[in-house]
A = this chain, B = another copy of it.
Amino acid sequence: MLNGDDALDTQASVRRANLRRALQLVFRNPGSETRAGIARATGLTAATASSLVAELIDLQLIIDGEQAASTGGKRATTLSIASEHHVILVLVIRPTDARIALVALDGTEVETRRVAFSDESRDRVLDGAVADIAAEYSGRLLIAGVQLPGTTDGRRVFESVQLGWTDVPLAERFEAVLGIPVLLVNDVDAEAIAKAAREDESSGYRLFIHIGTGIGAAVTLDGELAPGPRDRAGEIGHVQVEFGDDARTCRCGRQGCLESASSMTAMLGDDFDDAMDDEAITALAASADDEHLAEGARALARTIKLIAAVLDAAEVVIGGPARALGDRFLPLVQAEVDYTATGTANVPVRYADADASISTGVAQVALSSALGVRWSPAQLRAASDPVS
């Protein structure tokens, strides 16, 4: 469809690129973009814009909407995302279960399921679930994104300690059943994108740090994952950041790892686990040792400063369970980061917004990879905000 590499060699690739640009505009301004608006924004002629829109409508990716108010002449026909036909398959794999979501092109969840398994049955159960989806949504599936804990290049799982996988060609396996492109995404990367995509002006580098029992990092550039090999990128949990003889011993056996100081377990004690809800964390944090939190903040801030300085990051976002620590933690981190000489940015540090829908990050990465399209920030905020 709009797939294919971006090598701009032939006329067809120009058409594909322009289709993607037009589609992107509709995704950015669903319900308000028009043919004339696409012509203006792209610099293409109105005739070309109309032709592109006609093809996108034919592909069932967008639909004609209502007439806009006149701005002095003929009223424009608005364009919206077609939410009825195509679905994105999102598969979130965790050690003992997986969530399956079918997401419409406008970001709304069509259906969600959950399957549970053991280490032994995981492969079989997953394959079965994927085969079920392939049968039920035959013809409507557009792309699939698979989120999992572990290192991946999008095609293979290099290493997942939690899942016990080493070098598994998972994308290929699922593609054979589904018949659509499948993209694997690291869980922290997916979380980073889910947050970054909700920002209106996602310009420049943003450093995202997930803090739970473990610590992982992801870097986004202009709202998308930073380019380059991501095989093992972001694995900062076991980098040494404390150096005194009194540095704590990490569960990995070494001393002074970032995780041994700044993980939730380090700051709140072994009672913490990743499945806790915010209230439970807040309660646990109330009885936490101030000094542990301060040490965690210090170690984290050291990490942040270095990385932010190298990349000239515009912002640092902390996600995961650590968000529930609220004002007991963030101000300490920010203060330590701000203790900086001139010449280096005083990068702002903040918590990620309340959890977006679990599927938006993966769906966004898959969309972006396959169609070159990103959802509008406003739309994402609405999609994950179950009010209204």
Question: Chain A: residues with CB nearer than 8 A to chain B?
Answer: 7-11, 13-14, 17-18, 21, 42-44, 159, 161, 203-205, 207, 217, 219, 221-222, 226-241, 243-244, 250, 252-254, 257, 298, 302-303, 305-307, 309-312, 314, 339-345
Contact = CB atoms under 8 A, between A and B. Distances in A.
A339 B305 CA distance: 22
Given A9-B43, A21-B9, A231 B312 contact: yes
A147 to B, nearest CB: 19
25 contacts: A9-B21, A10-B44, A11-B11, A14-B14, A161-B343, A204-B229, A207-B310, A221-B228, A227-B227, A228-B311, A229-B312, A230-B312, A231-B312, A232-B343, A236-B309, A237-B343, A238-B340, A239-B344, A240-B302, A240-B340, A241-B302, A243-B298, A252-B342, A303-B306, A307-B310
Q: In terms of DSSP, what is the predominant structure of the interface of chain A? A: loop
A68 B227 CA distance: 39
A221 B230 CA distance: 12
Nearest to A345: B232
A102 to B, nearest CB: 32
Nearest to A217: B310
Contact of A305 (B17, B207, B239): B239
Given A232-B312, A309-B235, A13 B9 contact: no
A252 B13 CA distance: 53
Contacts of A228: 204-205, 221-222, 226, 311-312
Identify the interface centre among A238, A239, A253: most chain B CB within 10 Å of its CB: A239
A39 B243 CA distance: 57
Contacts of A309: 234-236, 239
